[in-house]
């Protein structure tokens, strides 16, 4: 055993002693020439300047810029002044191709492929509505490429390239778990960072803005995405699709032309989205569609142009303990989707607190909806909804606290409903209200059953309204216990 330990120690010491520093341009004029000479463990140090080449790293090589560690205009000064220029449309290889165990630290990578400002501006103006779906997530010819390798990409500035800034993809039989940290990716004609095809990258503390697609995009990847800032991208700040299931935590996504975080394309797309700040995006703070099944937990979604959290197209999200406020549409909006909505706080939104639309199915349990401009909960057409143990409050305003329309079917049990307006609960659908507390303040009706509605009421405590229950042409009202089976006259 001692002989084995001694042999390993000697081998390690030998490798360490054999490692060397190679300097560019002192030892070699080009970075690629320095890489050709280097062996595993060697460090290549590059002084500031512009290097007009595209490079391919070797396994275990560390490539670093030298110079001041202080902040420049955008990133590190040494990264801003040490530039790998891909020569525009010349060549179809990536600007930098990473290798197993290699490190790229502190460079600007630019001009790999053609940046098209006119095209960028056109799609910015259109909010990405006419971008090709199939192109999102493609590998292309990126500024920095990682294929089937675990490597480190840190402190780089990647901008004005003709495709994705940093692209990562898995390879059969290989672990692909690179660390992508502290980079700045902007104005690339793909995404800022793309993780795809089996990648399990760690993507941490990067800044991605004004990219043609998402700031950070996922396609069939299971990355860990933490503490990044993604803003003013043409699509989502963070986009997740095609069976990707990353963990997305503690990111800031704001000012993007679509959602802050967008999730889509299939039931196998099931990420965990938690503890993020999504605000002032042109669409939802967090959006889920196309049968995706995310867990959306503990996020803050506010001042977005549409819903705080919006789900549609048969997605099936679990929405838990989020805070959605001051959004231009609903705090939480469900459209043709199935959702569990549990213990969220939804307040001061411009439309409903929670809106459940177009035949959606939802369980809405233990949420607080406070002071939303219209209804606390709106179910306009064909929904099947359980509302249980929620606190639904609005002071002032004419709309009801809960509005049920069309042929929606709603079970309302154990809720606290407080406010004024035309009613605590107004229904033209099918309502089962059991054991709720409905407290009005100069309101018209505790429960208003409108034309063709059906209502079954039991054990509700209604106070502060001019009428406890009002019948405006309901098909049927069954009152037990409190109302002794009698309908209240209009």
pLDDT digits (tens, 9 = 90+) for 134-163: 556 678 899 999 999 999 999 999 999 999
Q: What is the C-alpha to C-alpha distance for residues 178 and 169, in angstroms, rounded to an integer?
A: 10
Q: Where are the alpha helices (DSSP H) in 213-362?
A: none
In this prediction, residue 480 has a pLDDT band, given cuts at 50, 70 and 90, of: low
Which strand (E) or helix (H) includes residue 455?
Answer: strand 454-458
In this prediction, residue 490 has a pLDDT band, given cuts at 50, 70 and 90, of: very low
The more confidently predicted of residues 217 and 483 is 217
Question: Global pTM?
Answer: 0.93
Give the whole-number percent of the chain exceeding pLDDT 70: 93
- Sign of the CA dihedral with 21 first, then 26, 28, and 29 last: positive
In this prediction, residue 455 has a pLDDT band, given cuts at 50, 70 and 90, of: very high
Q: What is the C-alpha to C-alpha distance for residues 244 and 265, in angstroms, rounded to an integer?
A: 9
CA angle in degrees (0–180, nearest 5) for 95-96-99: 155
Kindly state the tokens that stand for 336. Answer: 């043709």
Domain 14-258: which CATH class? mainly beta
In this prediction, residue 8 has a pLDDT band, given cuts at 50, 70 and 90, of: very low
Who contacts 3 (Cβ-Cβ below 8 Å, separation ≥6)? none
Q: What does the pLDDT look like over 219-251, one tens digit per residue?
A: 999 999 999 999 999 999 999 999 999 999 999
Is residue 41 within 8 Å of 12, Cβ to Cβ?
no
Q: What is the C-alpha to C-alpha distance for residues 189 and 477, in angstroms, rounded to an integer?
A: 60
Identify the pLDDT of residue 489. Answer: 37
Average pLDDT on 459-470 reads: 93
Q: How many other CB atoms are there within 10 angstroms of residue 180's CB atom?
A: 28
DSSP state string for 255-283: S-SS-SEEE-SSTT---EEES-EEES-SS
Identify the pLDDT of residue 152. Answer: 98
Identify the pLDDT of residue 442. Answer: 72
Give the residue range(s) of CATH 2.160.20 domains in the chain: 14-258
In this prediction, residue 13 has a pLDDT band, given cuts at 50, 70 and 90, of: very low
Q: Cβ-count burial of 252 within 10 angstroms (0-12 exposed, 13-18 middle, 19+ buried)?
A: middle
Q: What does the pLDDT look like over 337-396, one tens digit per residue?
A: 999 999 999 999 999 999 999 999 999 999 999 999 999 999 999 899 999 999 999 998
pLDDT surpassing 90 at residue 316:
yes
DSSP state string for 85-97: EEEETS-SS-SEE
Q: What is the C-alpha to C-alpha distance for residues 300 and 308, in angstroms, rounded to an integer?
A: 8
HSE on the CB side for 274, CA within 13 Å? 13
Identify the pLDDT of residue 18. Answer: 66
Q: What is the C-alpha to C-alpha distance for residues 368 and 345, in angstroms, rounded to an integer?
A: 5
């Amino acid at each position: 055993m001692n002989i084995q330990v001694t042999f390993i120690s000697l081998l390690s010491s030998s490798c360490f002693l054999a490692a060397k520093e190679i300097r560019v341009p002192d030892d070699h004029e080009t970075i690629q020439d320095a890489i050709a000479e280097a062996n595993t463990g060697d460090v290549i140090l590059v002084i500031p300047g512009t290097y007009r080449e595209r490079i391919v790293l070797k396994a275990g090589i560390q490539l670093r810029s030298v110079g001041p560690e202080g902040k420049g205009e955008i990133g590190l000064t040494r990264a801003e002044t040490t530039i790998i220029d891909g020569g525009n449309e010349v060549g179809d290889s990536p600007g930098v191709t990473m290798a197993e165990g290699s490190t790229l630290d502190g460079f600007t990578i630019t001009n790999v492929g053609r940046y098209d400002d006119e095209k960028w501006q056109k799609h910015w103006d259109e909010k990405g509505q006419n971008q090709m779906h199939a192109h999102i997530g493609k590998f292309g010819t990126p500024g920095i490429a990682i294929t089937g390798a675990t490597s480190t990409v840190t402190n780089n500035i990647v901008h004005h390239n003709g495709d994705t800034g940093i692209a990562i993809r898995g390879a059969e039989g290989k672990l692909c778990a690179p660390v992508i940290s502290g980079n700045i990716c902007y104005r690339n004609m793909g995404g800022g960072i793309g993780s795809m095809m089996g990648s399990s990258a760690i993507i941490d503390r990067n800044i991605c803005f004004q990219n043609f697609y998402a700031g950070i995009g996922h396609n069939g990847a299971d990355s860990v995405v933490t503490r990044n800032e993604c803003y003013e991208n043409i699509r989502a700040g963070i986009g997740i699709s095609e069976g990707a299931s990353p963990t997305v935590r503690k990111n800031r996504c704001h000012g993007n032309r679509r959602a802050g975080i967008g999730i889509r394309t299939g039931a196998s797309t099931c990420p965990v989205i938690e503890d993020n700040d999504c605000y002032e995006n042109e669409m939802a703070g967090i959006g889920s569609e196309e049968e995706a099944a995310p867990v959306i937990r503990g996020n803050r979604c506010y001042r977005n142009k549409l819903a705080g959290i919006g789900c549609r197209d048969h997605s099936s999200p679990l929405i838990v303990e989020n805070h959605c406020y001051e959004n231009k549409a609903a705090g939480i909006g469900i459209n043709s989707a199935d959702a569990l909505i549990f213990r969220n706080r939804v307040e001061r939104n411009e439309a409903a607190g929670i809106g459940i639309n177009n035949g959606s199915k939802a369980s809405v349990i233990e949420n607080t909806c406070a002071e939303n401009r219209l209804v606390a909960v709106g179910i306009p057409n064909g929904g099947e909804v359980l509302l249980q143990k929620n606190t639904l409050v609005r002071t002032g305003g004419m709309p009801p606290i809960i509005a049920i329309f069309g042929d929606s079917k709603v079970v309302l049990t154990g809720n606290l409903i407080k406010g004024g307006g035309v009613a605590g609960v107004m229904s033209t659908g099918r309502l089962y209200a059991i054991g709720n507390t409905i407290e009005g303040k100069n309101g018209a009706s505790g429960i208003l059953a409108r034309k063709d509605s059906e209502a079954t009421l039991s054990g509700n405590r209604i106070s502060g309204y001019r009428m406890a229950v009002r019948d405006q042409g309901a098909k049927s009202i069954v009152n037990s216990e409190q109302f002794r089976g009698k309908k209240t006259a209009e």
